[in-house]
């Protein structure tokens, strides 16, 4: 039986003149198009024999067309494979469309195939065979897994970075962030929803001006496509109201084509540095805003501070009280109180709750309670006191109210009982008599255990124990016995009673009958349990909404349906925002109708929602009822929610299967079009029409081009015209607008059609949607590019191991440092660059931490690519995959060589400072001893002879004192610079005169070097004269010190309209070029045999550089080793 001859031919709607030809072409050639489809397709008759297979089917099984045709499925596929699919074949031959997924062996490996069997009918509706369409998605499964692992690796690296890091897409929507970022923000922003920054709010550094999120540094980096360098910190506010200071470092990311794909941002938390500053201001504000009078005074009772509450309490202003004695407030009959208080304060004692009287400005006496605390300095010495005064005049009136309490207790409907700490009843009101049946006379003096059932003997001892500790027993539900012997459910609240000294002497008990309440609660609980069981068995979610306070309660099943996390408290706005856009009007109409008092308040709607967690569309049926109050206002809405997505999906799939598989052409997963000799398309299959959402009439001729992306239209026309001219097939890719308005990439594979006589009839083409494949490849590239960009942009080198301790990744930073290739450093190759002495320590410590899954850090030395040995700090954390299985370690390596050198220079400086300061002091001490010995000479003539020695000694002492003074001055200047307190006192002065004066001072101190001044500048400048002179003095003394074999130093004073220039040139040992910039650093001294003979701290040029930079000037050096040095200063004239 030939199935192809018996299948009902396809009917095509078209122009009247072309109907006959189109039907004939499809009838005779309808299977030609199947060879263009990339998916395997086979036609099998009702004897399970192959009658047709396309090229893709032959390629899948690596065989020829003639080797398949005529064979049965069991003969061609083999018994093992046939047994797996024979039941599906039987169903297809029974007239059922079969859709299933199966794994079959193929070339030594399993392949995953998606198969659709569509029954074929003859004109009498008898099944004559079936059409098998296969889709091999094994490679896509593997690619999905590779992408998932790639993204997981990237996210784990981000999560283990110690700094706060997050990324956004090119539109600013957050795509990822690590734990450090979430901790800094104090919240977990929603991926794909929150924009620019995860912060709740951002403020300028003043803490007041709100910075709009669209103007934050991340938004600027994306908008201007550049890295943003922030200088001042910003302030972010967390949802809990706390604030953090931070400095952002946003930088855009680009793909391989240079297109911006998003940005990443590293946030540096600088809060701790700001906290101390803010704390001082906060304390001052607290004191000033306190409702209590807070007064500061010294140990003589003189007032030093006076807040607004003190002014309100006593009537005196701050100006009237600061500097006056505190006794101004003390009544005459209490003058002995203040000396006693000051005496206790001097001992460091605290005076608490001291009740007394004080006088206001208008003479009124106030009852106050004062708490006075000693104030200590940093050494712990008491230097004053802080006094908090509170007006307790009103409290004195409380005693008058106490007399009313007895009447209130007696008239209470609740039982109010007093008892001792031994449980003996001391008071018994009317409410107690009504509740328990005993009169006051029957209970006073009796034990409270008289009311306790025999099966509860431990309750009263436990209550009394808590009362003796001063604890209050609240809402304690239990049972008690009445006089008639009946049992009551009661709620007890028992409070300890204290005497005037604060001692607990008894207890007050309030007992309330809750018997009826308990029965009601039991019935409610039973009904709730029945309802809960019914809901759980049907997967039905419940909810309740209160329009009055906008509260929405969702049951766990409702949250599961909507994808709501447990930490999200939804409201009506949240629900509405997740209703599918096309269903929002329908949703509002239903709600409006339900809350109309004229209706019964019931509603039942079927609509789509977008899940909160994964944005997945779900069909939901929501039913409920509105309850109105007496004013016909909707007081609450309660209802149920049921996820009907699966039923809705099955309904849609069933509908689509009926429509899509009416004919064989519409069964293939491809969009098919045909054109004639007039170049116009005259046929589009249902797949095409469903894809574009257009009618056949709209697509005719060139109408289909309306759905092609504007940028691709000309390419389509040119490709088609060229192929039409040559009557050759073509393949092209372009973007086609889908029915939902989205442009998607499709592949168009067209072949020419010819008649039996070889006449060209036009083209027939099969189009496949390849948009997901393109996006998938792009996503892989973007993911890898993002991972590489972040890792390579980090100033630290990043690394990662697998679960077997092998290094599987290092960033480009490490490769640049070491000059190694990636293949050289993976596994254990990275150890090659570690110094031999450090290898064993580093490997041992890492393995120990690796085995214990603990945080790892250590320092080591490595050899850089240029041969230099550098110090490094490495840190690492264990990370786990999405199933919680240990996957390895991720960490970083930071170059800490410069930090080590600074520490070394600091140590050298301390040693040198000790030596430099000790030398002049030792010299001064020696000459002082010599002078003392001379002075002790009794012979005047001998004293006269030693006059020359005395003068020489005094000159030496003067020189050493000058040297010591200079050293101390430099240390003081260094301290001022580091604390930011180096001040400039600018005046206008003649520059040339100042230079000449400075040179003259140096000439007096040297006899070997001639200092030659060449001045070409005439004019005055505005600057700190003494500081500029200090710079010139440093240049001159250095020039003399470092040119011991020369005999001259030259000074040049020049200028132009904008700058004045001073140059000092010597002919000494010179400076190597590599040290030119570093000699202006703090503590830096040029290393070398020649330099070691010259004393110095290494701070003179650093101070000089700071002075010139604070004048907005420039300082530089020009020198070569062995050829002297020339230092230049440029000072602006304006």
Number of domains in the chain: 9
Confidence at residue 657, expressed as pLDDT on a 0 to 100 scale: 47
Distance (Å, whole) CA 1012 – CA 1009: 9
User: What are the backbone angles phi and psi of residue 888, rounded to the nearest 5°?
Assistant: 135, -160
Q: Is 637 left (phi over 0), alpha (psi -120 to 50) or beta?
A: beta
Confidence at residue 162, expressed as pLDDT on a 0 to 100 scale: 65
pLDDT at position 911 over 60:
no
Distance (Å, whole) CA 604 – CA 619: 13
pLDDT at position 1079 over 90:
no
Q: What is the CATH number of the domain that holds 1099?
A: 3.30.565.10
- Do 305 and 269 share a domain, yes or no? no
Burial status of residue 946 (CB atoms within 10 A of its CB: 0-12, 13-18, 19 or more): middle
The DSSP symbol for 704 reads G
- Do 171 and 236 share a domain, yes or no? yes
Percent of the chain with pLDDT over 70: 79
Q: What is the CATH number of the domain that holds 949?
A: 1.10.287.130
**Of 112, 136, 160, which one is at a domain's C-terminal end?**
136
513-569 per-position pLDDT tens digit:
887 777 767 666 666 565 555 555 557 888 888 887 778 888 888 888 899 888 888
pLDDT grade for 116, boundaries at 50, 70 and 90 = very high
Cα 577 from chain centroid? 25
Distance (Å, whole) CA 995 – CA 1029: 7
Distance (Å, whole) CA 121 – CA 93: 10
Strand partners, 504: 498
Q: Which residue has the higher pLDDT, 403 or 778?
A: 778
Sign of CA dihedral 174, 176, 182, 187: positive
Is the separation of the CB atoms in 618 and 611 below 8 Å?
A: yes
Any domain includes 656: no
User: 3-class DSSP state for residue 300?
Assistant: coil
Distance (Å, whole) CA 325 – CA 327: 5
- Do 745 and 880 share a domain, yes or no? no
What average pLDDT score do residues 898-923 get?
62
Q: Which two tokens stand for residue 788?
A: 């590489």
Any domain includes 646: no
Any domain includes 527: no
Distance (Å, whole) CA 149 – CA 598: 58
Any domain includes 589: yes
For the chain, the straight-line distance linking the first and the last C-alpha, in angstroms and rounded, comes to 105
Distance (Å, whole) CA 677 – CA 523: 83
836-871 per-position pLDDT tens digit:
999 899 999 999 999 999 999 999 999 988 989 999
**How many H helices and E strands in the chain?**
35, 43
Burial status of residue 859 (CB atoms within 10 A of its CB: 0-12, 13-18, 19 or more): middle
Cα 266 from chain centroid? 9
Distance (Å, whole) CA 505 – CA 496: 8
Is the separation of the CB atoms in 390 and 372 below 8 Å?
A: no
Confidence at residue 7, expressed as pLDDT on a 0 to 100 scale: 44
Any domain includes 608: yes
**Of 947, 980, 1013, which one is at a domain's C-terminal end?**
980
- Do 1121 and 991 share a domain, yes or no? yes
Contacts within 8 Å (CB) and 24+ apart, 550-558: 557/641, 558/641
Confidence at residue 330, expressed as pLDDT on a 0 to 100 scale: 93
User: 3-class DSSP state for residue 138?
Assistant: helix
- Do 688 and 764 share a domain, yes or no? yes
Bridge-based pairing state of the strands 760-769 and 671-675: antiparallel
Confidence at residue 922, expressed as pLDDT on a 0 to 100 scale: 59
Distance (Å, whole) CA 676 – CA 494: 98
Confidence at residue 44, expressed as pLDDT on a 0 to 100 scale: 93
206-215 burial code (b ≥16 CB/10 A, e <16):
eeeeebebee
Confidence at residue 1114, expressed as pLDDT on a 0 to 100 scale: 94
Confidence at residue 962, expressed as pLDDT on a 0 to 100 scale: 64
pLDDT grade for 26, boundaries at 50, 70 and 90 = very low
pLDDT at position 385 over 90:
no
- Do 737 and 806 share a domain, yes or no? no
What average pLDDT score do residues 1087-1092 get?
51
Confidence at residue 384, expressed as pLDDT on a 0 to 100 scale: 87
Q: Report in angstroms the alpha-carbon separations of 12 from 27, 374, 751, 1034, 1122.
A: 10, 102, 20, 99, 97
- Do 464 and 487 share a domain, yes or no? yes
How much of the chain is helix, strand and coil, in % rounded to 5?
A: 40, 30, 30
pLDDT at position 12 over 50:
no
Q: Is 807 left (phi over 0), alpha (psi -120 to 50) or beta?
A: beta
What average pLDDT score do residues 491-519 get?
82
Distance (Å, whole) CA 715 – CA 705: 11
pLDDT at position 805 over 60:
yes
Any domain includes 653: no
945-955 per-position pLDDT tens digit:
566 666 666 66
Task: Of 563, 572, 719, 711, give the one whose Cα is nearest residue 637.
Answer: 572
Any domain includes 524: no
52-69 per-position pLDDT tens digit:
899 888 988 889 999 999
Is the separation of the CB atoms in 969 and 962 below 8 Å?
A: no
* Average confidence score pLDDT of the chain: 82
Is the separation of the CB atoms in 961 and 924 below 8 Å?
A: yes
pLDDT at position 25 over 60:
no
Is the separation of the CB atoms in 124 and 141 below 8 Å?
A: no
Bridge-based pairing state of the strands 351-359 and 760-769: unpaired
Distance (Å, whole) CA 105 – CA 60: 12
141-150, 190-199, 630-639, 662-671, range with greatest mean pLDDT: 190-199
Overall residue count recorded for the chain in this entry: 1134
Q: 483: Cβ–Cβ under 8 A, 6 or more apart, which residues?
A: 436, 437, 438, 442
pLDDT grade for 930, boundaries at 50, 70 and 90 = low
- Do 57 and 168 share a domain, yes or no? no
Q: Which structural domain range is residue 750 located in?
A: 661-775
The DSSP symbol for 256 reads T
- Do 830 and 934 share a domain, yes or no? no
pLDDT grade for 27, boundaries at 50, 70 and 90 = very low
Q: Which residue has the higher pLDDT, 153 or 692?
A: 692
Q: What is the CATH number of the domain that holds 630?
A: 3.30.450.20
Distance (Å, whole) CA 1083 – CA 904: 10
Q: Which two tokens stand for residue 615?
A: 């944005």
323-354 per-position pLDDT tens digit:
999 999 999 999 898 899 999 989 989 988 88
- Do 202 and 242 share a domain, yes or no? yes
User: 3-class DSSP state for residue 640?
Assistant: strand
Any domain includes 551: yes
What average pLDDT score do residues 103-114 get?
79
Confidence at residue 2, expressed as pLDDT on a 0 to 100 scale: 44
Q: Which residue has the higher pLDDT, 615 or 916?
A: 615
Confidence at residue 23, expressed as pLDDT on a 0 to 100 scale: 32
**Of 519, 549, 581, which one is at a domain's C-terminal end?**
519
- Do 830 and 933 share a domain, yes or no? no
Task: Of 744, 794, 793, give the one whose Cα is nearest residue 769.
Answer: 744
The DSSP symbol for 566 reads T
pLDDT at position 938 over 70:
no
- Do 217 and 313 share a domain, yes or no? no
Distance (Å, whole) CA 596 – CA 590: 10
Distance (Å, whole) CA 387 – CA 295: 5
């Amino acid at each position: 039986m030939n199935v192809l001859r018996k299948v009902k031919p396809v009917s095509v709607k078209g122009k009247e003149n072309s109907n006959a030809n189109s039907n004939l072409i499809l009838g005779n050639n309808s299977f030609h198009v199947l060879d263009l489809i990339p998916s395997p397709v086979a036609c099998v008759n009702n004897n399970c024999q192959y009658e047709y297979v396309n090229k893709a089917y032959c390629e899948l099984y690596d065989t020829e067309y003639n080797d398949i045709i005529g064979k049965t499925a069991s003969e061609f596929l083999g018994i093992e494979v046939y047994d797996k699919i024979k039941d599906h074949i039987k169903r297809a031959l029974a007239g059922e469309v079969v859709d299933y997924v199966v794994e079959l062996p193929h070339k030594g490996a399993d392949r995953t195939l998606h198969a659709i069997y569509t029954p074929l009918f003859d004109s009498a509706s008898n099944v004559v065979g079936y059409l098998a369409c296969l889709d091999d998605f094994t490679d896509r499964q593997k690619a999905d897994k590779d992408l998932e692992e790639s993204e997981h690796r990237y996210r784990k690296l981000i999560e283990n970075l110690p700094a706060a890091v997050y990324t956004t897409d090119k539109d600013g929507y957050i795509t990822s962030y690590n734990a450090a970022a979430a901790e800094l923000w104090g919240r977990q922003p929603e991926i794909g929803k929150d924009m620019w920054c995860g912060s709740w709010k951002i403020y300028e550094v003043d803490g007041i001006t709100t910075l709009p999120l669209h103007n934050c540094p991340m938004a600027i980096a994306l908008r201007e496509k550049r890295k943003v360098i922030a200088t001042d910190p910003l302030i972010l506010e967390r949802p809990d109201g706390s604030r953090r200071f931070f400095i952002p470092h946003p930088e855009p990311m680009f793909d391989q084509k240079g297109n911006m794909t998003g940005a990443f941002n590293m946030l540096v938390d600088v809060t701790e540095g700001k906290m101390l500053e803010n704390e001082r201001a906060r304390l001052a504000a607290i004191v000033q805003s306190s409702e209590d009078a807070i007064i500061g005074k010294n140990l003589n009772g003189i007032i030093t501070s006076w807040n607004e509450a003190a002014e309100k309490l006593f009537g005196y202003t701050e100006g009237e009280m600061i500097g006056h004695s505190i006794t101004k407030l003390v009544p005459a009959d209490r003058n002995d109180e203040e000396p006693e208080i000051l005496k206790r304060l001097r001992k460091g004692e605290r005076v608490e709750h001291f009740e007394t009287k004080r006088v206001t400005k208008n003479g009124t006496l106030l009852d106050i309670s004062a708490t006075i605390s000693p104030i200590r300095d940093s050494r712990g010495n008491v230097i004053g006191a802080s006094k908090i005064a509170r007006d307790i005049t009103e409290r004195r009136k409380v005693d008058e109210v106490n007399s009313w309490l007895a009447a209130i207790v007696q008239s209470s409907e609740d039982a109010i009982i007093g008892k001792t700490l031994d449980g003996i009843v001391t008071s018994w009101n009317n409410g107690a008599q009504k509740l328990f049946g005993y009169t006051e006379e029957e209970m006073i003096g009796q034990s409270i255990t008289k009311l306790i059932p025999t099966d509860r003997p431990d309750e009263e001892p436990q209550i009394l124990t808590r009362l003796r500790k001063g604890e209050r027993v609240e809402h304690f539900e239990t049972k008690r016995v009445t006089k008639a012997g009946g049992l009551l459910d009661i709620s007890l609240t028992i409070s300890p009673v204290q005497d005037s000294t604060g001692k607990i002497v008894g207890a007050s008990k309030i007992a309330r009958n809750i018997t009826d309440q308990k029965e009601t609660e039991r019935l409610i609980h039973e009904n709730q349990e029945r309802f809960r069981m019914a809901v759980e068995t049907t997967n039905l979610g419940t909810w309740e909404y209160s329009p009055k306070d906008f509260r929405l309660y969702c049951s766990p099943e409702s949250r599961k349906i909507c994808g709501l996390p447990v930490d999200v408290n939804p409201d009506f706005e949240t629900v509405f925002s997740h209703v599918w856009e096309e269903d929002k009007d329908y949703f509002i109409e239903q709600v409006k109708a339900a809350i109309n008092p004229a209706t019964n308040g019931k509603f039942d709607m079927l609509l789509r929602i977008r899940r909160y967690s994964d944005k997945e569309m779900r069909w939901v049926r929501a039913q409920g009822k509105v309850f109105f109050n007496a004013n016909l206002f909707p007081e609450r809405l309660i209802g149920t929610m049921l996820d009907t997505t699966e039923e809705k999906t099955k309904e849609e799939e069933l509908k689509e299967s009926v429509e899509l598989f009416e004919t064989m052409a519409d069964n293939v997963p491809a969009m098919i079009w045909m054109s004639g000799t007039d170049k116009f398309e005259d046929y589009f299959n249902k797949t095409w029409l469903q894809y574009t959402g257009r009618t056949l009439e709209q697509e005719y001729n060139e109408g289909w081009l309306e759905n092609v992306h504007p940028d691709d239209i000309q390419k389509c026309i040119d490709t088609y015209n060229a192929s039409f001219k040559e009557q050759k097939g073509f393949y092209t890719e372009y973007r086609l607008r889908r029915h939902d308005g989205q442009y998607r990439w499709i592949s168009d594979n067209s072949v020419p059609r010819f008649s039996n006589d070889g006449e060209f009839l036009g083209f027939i083409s099969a189009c496949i949607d390849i948009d997901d494949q393109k996006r998938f490849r792009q996503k892989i590239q973007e993911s890898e590019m993002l991972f590489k960009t972040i890792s390579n942009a980090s100033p630290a080198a990043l690394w990662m191991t697998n679960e077997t301790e092998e290094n599987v990744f290092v960033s480009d930073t490490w490769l640049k440092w070491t000059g190694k290739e990636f293949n050289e450093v993976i596994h254990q190759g990275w150890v090659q660059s570690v110094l031999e002495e450090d290898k064993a320590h580093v490997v041992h410590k890492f393995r120990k931490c690796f085995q214990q899954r603990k945080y790892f850090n250590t320092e080591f030395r490595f050899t850089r690519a240029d041969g230099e040995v550098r110090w490094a700090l490495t840190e690492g954390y264990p990370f786990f995959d999405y199933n919680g299985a240990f996957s390895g370690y991720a960490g970083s390596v930071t170059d800490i060589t410069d930090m080590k050198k600074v520490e070394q220079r600091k140590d050298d400086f301390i040693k040198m400072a000790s030596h430099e300061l000790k030398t002049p002091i030792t010299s001064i001490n020696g000459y002082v001893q010599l002078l003392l010995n001379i002075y002790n000479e009794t012979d005047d003539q001998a004293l006269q002879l030693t006059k020359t020695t005395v003068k020489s000694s005094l000159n030496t002492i003067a020189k050493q004192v000058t040297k010591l003074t200079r050293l101390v001055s430099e240390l003081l200047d260094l301290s001022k610079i580091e604390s930011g307190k180096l001040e400039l006192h600018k005046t206008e002065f003649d520059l040339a005169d100042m230079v000449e004066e400075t040179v003259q001072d140096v000439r007096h101190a040297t006899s070997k070097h001639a200092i030659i001044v060449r001045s070409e500048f005439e004019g005055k400048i505005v600057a700190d004269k003494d500081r500029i002179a200090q710079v010139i003095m440093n240049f001159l003394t250095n020039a003399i010190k470092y040119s011991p074999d020369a005999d001259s130093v030259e000074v040049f004073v020049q200028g132009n309209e904008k700058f004045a220039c001073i140059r000092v040139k010597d002919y000494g040992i010179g400076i190597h070029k590599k040290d030119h910039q570093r000699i202006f650093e703090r503590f830096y001294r040029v290393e070398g045999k020649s330099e070691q003979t010259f004393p110095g701290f290494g701070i003179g040029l650093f101070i000089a550089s700071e002075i010139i930079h604070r004048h907005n000037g420039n300082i530089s050096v020009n020198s070569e080793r062995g050829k002297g040095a020339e230092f230049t200063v440029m000072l602006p004239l304006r």
